[in-house]
Amino acid sequence: MSRLHELFHVHGQSIWLDFISRDLIRSGQLQALIDQGVRGVTSNPTIFDQAIGSGRGYDDDLARLAAAGATPFQAYDALSQADVAAAADLLRPLYEASDGADGFVSIEVNPDLAYDTEATVAEARRLWEALDRPNIMIKVPATPPGIVAIRRLIAEGINVNATLMFSLAHYDAVAYAYIEGLEARAARSQDVSRVASVASFFVSRIDTVVDKALAAAGNTAWQGRVAVANAKLAYRRFGEVFSGPRWEALAACGARYQRPLWASTSTKNPAYSDLHYVNPLIGPHTVNTMPLTTLEAALERVVVARTVDEGLDEAQSVIAGLADLGIDFHRVTEDLQVAGVEAFARSFHHLLDTIAARLGALVPA
């Protein structure tokens, strides 16, 4: 049994891979990782920029698409959907064996739509219908318009990965959007038992910003601690939201927890352990999605122990103490969400430019 299997069977944490590419799928590497305990896959525009922009496994499809006169977006749409569908098919046996609890692959809506509810809903519906697999999750950013979209999509029975969450306020908005969406389904006597969702809480990016502010404030003792503290408080909030009469009424209808998913868990600061955002956040009903390098480190050295609800008083003190240091943590997390949307949009447009160049070079003379 691998360490990833232990994390799931002993402590209830699912490890997902935060990467996808044609080569990963065709080489058998993804299947090998599934065999070692990977239970899902996440993607985003930056990941597809890396995969399609440099991967030679897309050449034949690009040539075919160029000959057909595809636009850069049409080519991206075809290539990304093909990869997500192939990965979902590899994970389908796990989805079935877990009774729909795991085995998901996520694909993100066009990041240009992050502040447009109607366009986000329409794009999510289009991807859901085109991929036509029960183990797909549509990633929707937790912007204010995205929150409205999440509620509507859940009410329609579409699986959602709510992404780009950095604060407890973001978490609350997402969690209640999920609950309200389920309640709308239940009020129409529609099945809630097959609707799945995760709440993707970004971790390391917080320390990247706050560590600089802490250094300026003369407090280096808290460097590298704020992001984990924030995630631990989000997990505590998860326990509060998904309990009590309101949730129990949905659970009685078969509703599933919306699991917290720890995202951005690769270590950005080389002074920190490569598992700095993995070892402290292990616990039941959680997901940690990791890039390949972090996943490989976890396979070798992750400490298999429940840690996510340890040190909560200390975590509360750290977050509360930021204001005394002149650090506006609310502003930090809001700015990080805006920057996250912008970063995905930049990656998306860079990818479209790359595809345009490659299509242009492949158009028959």
What are 300-332's pLDDT values in tens digits?
Answer: 999 999 999 999 999 999 999 999 999 999 999
- CATH: 3.40.1350.10, 3.40.50.200, 3.20.20.70, 3.90.1300.10. Which one for 3-362? 3.20.20.70
Tell me, rounded to whole angstroms, the distance of Cα 62 from its chain centroid.
28
| Alpha-carbon separation of residue 168 from 133, 149, 193, 196, 260 (angstroms) | 32, 19, 26, 21, 12
| Alpha-carbon separation of residue 312 from 101, 102, 219 (angstroms) | 28, 28, 20
Decide if pLDDT at 365 tops 60.
no
| Alpha-carbon separation of residue 280 from 288, 292, 315 (angstroms) | 11, 19, 12
139 is catalytic: yes
Element (H, E) at 11: helix 3-11
CA dist 154 and 137 (Å) reads 11
Q: What is the pLDDT of residue 364?
A: 63
The model's confidence at residue 52, banded by pLDDT at 50, 70 and 90, is confident
Residue type, 265: T
Q: What is the pLDDT of residue 334?
A: 98
User: Count of alpha carbons within 13 Å of 249, Cβ hemisphere only?
Assistant: 10
Residue pair 177/151 in contact (Cβ under 8 Å)? The answer is yes
> What mean pLDDT is predicted for residues 178-206?
98
User: Count of alpha carbons within 13 Å of 199, Cβ hemisphere only?
Assistant: 32
Q: What is the pLDDT of residue 51?
A: 86
Percent of the chain's residues with pLDDT above 90: 93
- The gap between the terminal CA atoms of the chain, to the nearest Å, is 55
pLDDT digits (tens, 9 = 90+) for 229-255: 999 999 999 999 999 999 999 999 999
Nearest to 107 by CA among 135, 78, 137: 137
The overall average pLDDT reported for the chain is 96
Residue pair 203/265 in contact (Cβ under 8 Å)? The answer is yes
Burial environment of residue 178 by CB neighbours within 10 A (0 to 12, 13 to 18, 19 or more): buried
> What mean pLDDT is predicted for residues 344-363?
90
pTM of the entire structure? Answer: 0.96
pLDDT digits (tens, 9 = 90+) for 76-107: 999 999 999 999 999 999 999 999 999 999 99
| Lowest pLDDT segment from 62-66, 200-204, 290-294 | 62-66
Name the active-site residue from 139, 212, 232, 268: 139
Percent of the chain's residues with pLDDT above 70: 99
Decide if pLDDT at 54 tops 90.
no
CA dist 104 and 16 (Å) reads 9
Q: What is the pLDDT of residue 101?
A: 96
Looking up tokens 């709510």 gives 162
